[in-house]
Structure 1
Amino acid sequence: MGAIIALAPIVFGLLALSALFSAAETSLTGASRARMHQLDREGDRAAKRVNRLISDQETMIGAVLLGNNLINILASALTTTVLTAAFPGALGVAASTAIMTVLVLVFAEVLPKTLAILRSDDVARFLSGPTLLVVRLFGPVIYTIQFIVRRTLRLFGVKLDMAVDVLAAHEEIRGAVEYHHSEGLVEERDRRMLGGVLDLSDMDVAQVMVHRMSIAMIDADLPPRELVAAVLDSDHTRMPLYRDDPENIIGVLHAKDLLHAIAEADGAIDSLDLAKITREPWFIPETTNLKDQLNAFLKRQTHFALVVDEYGALQGLVTLEDILEEIVGEIEDEHDTSLPGVRKQADGGVSVDGSVAIRDLNRAMDWDLPDDQAVTVAGLVIHEAQTIPKIGQTFIFHRHRFQVVKRVRNQITALRISPPLETSQEA
């Protein structure tokens, strides 16, 4: 009996250490990386240690598990030794197994891990110092274990880089945003904005550009007075100038430059030398992703670029506003309509021009039409139908009914789209 009494403080001390290891493992894997990085930038030394530990999460977890297992095995071995002496035979082993299972499960696993889940950031910062010492102590052993594990997995065709990152940062952020949105902590508008930022590097300018057929251009050979009238009639401040052929863009005229020139000429419009105020056009490939183009706009301090294909043929134009709208939604000013080319119907559907971008329609109607195979609504219908439909033809796909209303030659110019259909209606 004396041996059992003497053993109790040792076992409970070992269980307390095991509880710390369990809490460290759970809190460090569940701590908010964003908050730790912010605290680190503010000079929090504990947060800095947490970031060091989770930067090599595999080694950290391996060291914590190794220490935890050593302590649990030691506590179980001591208990078994004492109890088998007090209760000879299988009874001592059974008693030791039952007692240690309950103690380890309750006090060294469930209780500390529950606390660590509830207060992950605080517990991680509190235990970062001791955990860092354990990682340094067991580091060589863990690297040896990792080497053995990777060699073993390689026998089964699984190859892992020593520096493999098990989390994709963008997907982790997107998942967090979606989770908090489902919990009601992130509003729908904020969810769309955050998703738009993450999508920039995955989208090309061809997906948001104004198609060449919709570009408002001005013939550079027009008399100055007619050219000024054309600029005044336009809703845009930057106008591409072409000569002979609309594909032959020779410059871009900014309305502000034009006003300065008129003022300097004392209103003598007919004497304007437009060549002096015309800006050189900026051509970019249609494969440029939106993140790179946004950075290019900011670097060049210009908001307007013409998009060309691999052969140099004009495809459209993109502005800084087009890219920002992918993040914040439609930006409207006094010259804009809510969404040009889209007319809502009483039944919840829309009458839409074929040139309307799918992404714009989705934002306006809160729909989910795919835009990975086509940019415009007309392009989506042609892609799904695998033909150029005739006027009056109706198609059902992606839970909507599409009816072709107008067609000019081979171009679908107007459609009627139903609101989302029930599954039975779609069938």
Structure 2
Amino acid sequence: MLAFTVLAALVAINALYVAAEFASVSVPRSKIAQAAKDGSSRAAGLRAVLDDAVALDRYIAACQIGITLSSLLVGAYGQATLGPALAELLEAHLGLDSVAAVSTSAVVVILLLTALQVVLGELVPKNLALRFPTEVALFTYPPTRLSTVLYRPFIAFLNGSGLLLLKPFGLEAHGHQHIHGPEEIELLLAESRRGGALTPEAHRRLRRGLQLSRRTVHELMVPRRELEAIEVSTPTDEVVERLRTSPYSRLPVYRGSLDAVLGVVSSKDLVHLFVSEGELPPLESLVRPLPFVPETMTADRLVHYLQERRASLAIVVDEYGGVQGLISVEDVLAELLGDLADELKEPDPGPETLADGSVRLPGTMTLVDAEPWLGVRWTGATTTVGGHVVEVLGRLPEAGEEHVVDGVHVKVLDMGPTAIRWLAVRRAEGER
């Protein structure tokens, strides 16, 4: 009975260290900080450890030393106490000679202790720590903190040995940090949504925010063929009429062709000048210069770039300097929050479910925005659903054509001269 009691105690110690290690690296720091503010002395001590990379490294090292020592003791003590007793039973009841009995008992004891150690000493505490990280971290803090003090010489020796081994390779040891890459954060967001901590809308916005570093200006811009612009020699009264009837409050101004954009004119400037001076000067004097950005620039860099130049619009150019479109801060915000209308612009109609169950989408909708409606992820050289269909077909389709494109049944509803305006999509029968 004493042997089983000692083994149970050693497995429990191992479980405590395992739980402490997993809880320390998964506990939400905000909850510990709040508990510390509420007066919890354990939370205050644990917060000091979590906020100090060196202290956290020692804390985890103490857990690892405790796990190693308890595991070794379980094996050694189990073999010393259970092995001989089991060998005697095998000799008496199975008629094995002493060598065979000792060998068999050693294997059986190792297998039993390993199973016990893995299940009760590793898996159970790990799952508890990951499911209740705050509670487990606070519960295991006092004994683990004491272990950090007791094991300090071993920790210093082992850490020093590790540094010496890494030094010839030009590597440095880093403390344990709660650092997550974008992909890991996306997984955490997905888990939070499934767990009910985030609404679908909040999850969508946060996910899109993370993806800004991967979205390019080319994907978000208003393409050249959709630009409404004014030639610089246009008479002032015609400029006023264009701005009055335009769905936009700001229009690009060019000289000769769109590849020679001079800047932008806004209805606000025209109103201000007319009220203050009673007349309007030629259009060229009303133009505000615009910065130019490459179409490969990412959305997050674009925001910083525009902030530095105190601008809200930029002309998008390709590698040859040709104008490809116009990008604004509103386009980036729309990526996060959904479509945002210009001051005077009527909102564009969005996806619409048709009578046959298919969904009508504008051909200019980006592949990222269309993914929930498509049910699959389309990838390719293009960035819009209409462009992707044209890319797959290798030609411009005609209105009324139906095709299966990458697992999605597509019907072209309306064609423009050079692009698909509207299409209806639904999952192909064989892909459900």
Is it true that 1:319 corresponds to 2:328 in the alignment?
Answer: yes
Kindly provide the amino acid, as one letter, of the partner of residue 46 in structure 1.
L
Change (3 A) 1:14 1:341: closer
Query: Is contact 1:49–1:132 with CA below 8 Å preserved after alignment?
Result: no
CA displacement at 1:97 relative to structure 2 = 4.7
Distance across 2 between alignment mates of 1:88 and 1:316:
81
Distance across 1 between alignment mates of 2:83 and 2:416:
94
Change (3 A) 1:389 1:76: closer
1:232 aligns with 244
CA displacement at 1:391 relative to structure 2 = 5.2
Distance across 1 between alignment mates of 2:86 and 2:367:
79
Deviations 1:269-288 (A, max 9, x none): 4xx24444321111111111
Kindly provide the amino acid, as one letter, of the partner of residue 303 in structure 2.
L
CA displacement at 1:362 relative to structure 2 = 4.6
Point out the more displaced range, 73-82 or 201-210. 73-82
Distance across 2 between alignment mates of 1:378 and 1:341:
15
CA displacement at 1:421 relative to structure 2 = 2.9
2:157 aligns with 140
Structure 2 portions without partners, runs of 5+: 91-101
2:429 aligns with 422
Within 5 A, what are the aligned runs for 1:75-94? 77=76, 90=88
Point out the more displaced range, 305-314 or 8-17. 8-17
Is it true that 1:71 corresponds to 2:70 in the alignment?
Answer: yes
Change (3 A) 1:413 1:132: same
2:97 aligns with none
Kindly provide the amino acid, as one letter, of the partner of residue 141 in structure 1.
L
CA displacement at 1:70 relative to structure 2 = 1.7
Query: Is contact 1:396–1:402 with CA below 8 Å preserved after alignment?
Result: yes
1:157 aligns with none
1:47 aligns with 47
Kindly provide the amino acid, as one letter, of the partner of residue 419 in structure 1.
R
Query: Is contact 2:193–2:203 with CA below 8 Å preserved after alignment?
Result: yes
CA displacement at 1:47 relative to structure 2 = 2.3
Query: Is contact 1:261–1:277 with CA below 8 Å preserved after alignment?
Result: no
Is it true that 1:210 corresponds to 2:210 in the alignment?
Answer: no
CA displacement at 1:27 relative to structure 2 = 1.7
Secondary structure of the corresponding residue to residue 419 of structure 1: strand
TM norm structure 2: 0.75
Kindly provide the amino acid, as one letter, of the partner of residue 186 in structure 2.
R
Kindly provide the amino acid, as one letter, of the partner of residue 419 in structure 2.
I
CA displacement at 1:68 relative to structure 2 = 2.2
Distance across 1 between alignment mates of 2:223 and 2:354:
26
2:262 aligns with 250
Q: Cα RMSD over matched residues? A: 4.5
Secondary structure of the corresponding residue to residue 327 of structure 1: helix
2:201 aligns with 189
Alignment match of 2:406 (pick from 398, 402, 410): 398
Is it true that 1:290 corresponds to 2:299 in the alignment?
Answer: yes
Point out the more displaced range, 352-361 or 294-303. 352-361
2:20 aligns with 24
Query: Is contact 1:23–1:113 with CA below 8 Å preserved after alignment?
Result: yes
Point out the more displaced range, 397-406 or 275-284. 397-406
Distance across 2 between alignment mates of 1:262 and 1:331:
29
2:234 aligns with 222
Query: Is contact 1:24–1:131 with CA below 8 Å preserved after alignment?
Result: no
- Percent identical among aligned pairs is 24
TM norm structure 1: 0.76
Within 5 A, what are the aligned runs for 1:25-174? 25-32=21-28, 44-52=44-52, 64-74=63-73, 77=76, 90=88, 97=109, 108-109=121-122, 112-113=125-126, 115-125=128-138, 126-127=140-141, 129-130=145-146, 132-133=148-149, 134=151, 137-141=154-158, 144=161, 168-174=180-186
Change (3 A) 1:78 1:331: same
Secondary structure of the corresponding residue to residue 185 of structure 1: coil
CA displacement at 1:142 relative to structure 2 = 5.5
CA displacement at 1:81 relative to structure 2 = 5.3
Change (3 A) 1:169 1:44: farther
Change (3 A) 1:118 1:312: closer
2:94 aligns with none
Change (3 A) 1:210 1:35: farther
Within 5 A, what are the aligned runs for 1:326-337? 326-332=335-341, 335-337=344-346
Change (3 A) 1:304 1:101: closer
Change (3 A) 1:336 1:252: closer
Change (3 A) 1:367 1:9: closer
CA displacement at 1:349 relative to structure 2 = 3.2
Deviations 1:103-122 (A, max 9, x none): 86787556655653443124
Alignment match of 2:312 (pick from 296, 303, 314): 303
CA displacement at 1:314 relative to structure 2 = 0.5
CA displacement at 1:23 relative to structure 2 = 2.3
Secondary structure of the corresponding residue to residue 201 of structure 1: coil
Query: Is contact 1:403–1:416 with CA below 8 Å preserved after alignment?
Result: yes
